[in-house]
Structure 1
Amino acid sequence: MAELANCPVCQNLFLKNHLSNSCESCYKKEEQRFQQVQQFLKKRENELATNEDVAAETGVELKELHQFMKNGRLRIMAYPNLGYPCERCEELIRKDRLCTGCIGELEADLKLHEWDQRLLKER
């Protein structure tokens, strides 16, 4: 069911639904930018492009380009130089939300915390 909301881009009121988080006008503009990125990457000579190359050639901001990748809209497996930042350290990654280094650190911290909790229970 749709609900009334303010568009996060232009602040206009719109009916929010499961398909879009922005108003129709902003959604269409986003779709147009997405199509620009896809058209750029379809060209064989651009398959080694970096995030900065794509942004410079299409006019799409890096933040929005990262969102396309992170949300899975832009399939980057065929483009080895594309990625989006880890949510913790900003290192470029190609899947998930965290890089392997941050995942390892968090797992180690969790194990240490579990060990501390066991010691507290034993006392």
Structure 2
Amino acid sequence: MTLNVANCQRCGKVYLKNMYGMCGNCIKEIDLQYDKCLKYLREFRSCSITELSEATGVSHQLITKFIREGRISIKGNPNMTYDCEVCGTAIRENTMCEPCRSKLAKETNQMHEDENRKKLREAQENHNTFKIQDRLKDRF
């Protein structure tokens, strides 16, 4: 018999497991902070993420999380940007800026090419066996 309890990721209290990974109090607190952000954004559409954080008292990381989850849309807010996860450049979509994405794709392709070359080299080094067909090809 297993208990469906865990410790809250935010406050450490024991709670019944749910899909959020947090206790009910922390979920309510985050929802209240989300509501604060929405109310402020409705009034001040041209604010930046720093201004939003300072005005509402909600952390920069939590606002970024709301944006990435799709809870806050930045399409109607022209000055709203958040940081690229790799280099910290200001972006308006995805989790990485275009240069970081292309660099990642290039490195991934390079890794696959290296693996293929390594497999081919190993196959050539281990090609010490001969088949009867190979002997017959030499005769004709």
TM-score range, shorter chain: 0.7 to 0.9
The Cα of 1:105 is off from its aligned counterpart by: 0.5
- Residue 3 of structure 1 corresponds to which residue in structure 2? 4
What is the 5 A alignment of 1:70-81? 70-81=68-79
Q: CA offset at residue 5 of structure 1? A: 1.1
Looking at structure 2, the residues matched to 83 and 27 of structure 1 have their Cα atoms a distance apart, in angstroms, of: 25
- Number of residue equivalences: 119
Contact 1:69 / 1:83 at 8 angstroms: preserved in 2?
A: no
Instruction: Please report how far the alpha carbon of residue 110 of structure 1 lies from its aligned counterpart in structure 2 after TM superposition.
Output: 2.2
- Counterpart CA distance in 2 for 1:87 and 1:116 is 27
Q: How far 1:95 sits from its partner (Å)?
A: 2.5
Residues 74-113 of structure 1 mapped to structure 2, 5 A cutoff: 74-113=72-111
Provide TM-score, normalisation by structure 2.
Answer: 0.75
**Could you say what secondary structure the match of 2:75 adopts?**
coil
Q: List alignment gaps of at least 5 residues for structure 1.
A: none
Residue 54 of structure 2 aligns to which amino acid in structure 1? A
Structure 1 residue 17, shift from structure 2 partner: 1.4
Are 2:32 and 1:29 equivalent residues in the alignment?
no
Cα deviation, residue 118, structure 1: 4.0
Report % sequence identity. Answer: 25
Quick one: distance in 1 between partners of 2:6 and 2:83? 29
State the partner residue of 2:127: none
SS at match of 1:102: helix
Q: Which runs of 5+ in 2 are unaligned?
A: 125-140
Check conservation: 1:70, 1:84, Cα contact below 8 A.
Answer: no
| 2:59 counterpart residue number | 61
Secondary structure of the 1:14 match is strand
Q: TM-score with structure 1 length normalisation? A: 0.85
Q: CA deviation at 1:47?
A: 1.1
Q: What SS is found at the alignment partner of 1:64?
A: helix
Offset of residue 119 of structure 1: 3.8
Residue number among 113, 116, 119 corresponding to 2:114 in the alignment: 116
> What is the aligned partner in structure 1 of residue 47 from structure 2?
49
C-alpha distance in structure 1 between counterparts of 2:108 and 2:17, whole Å: 38
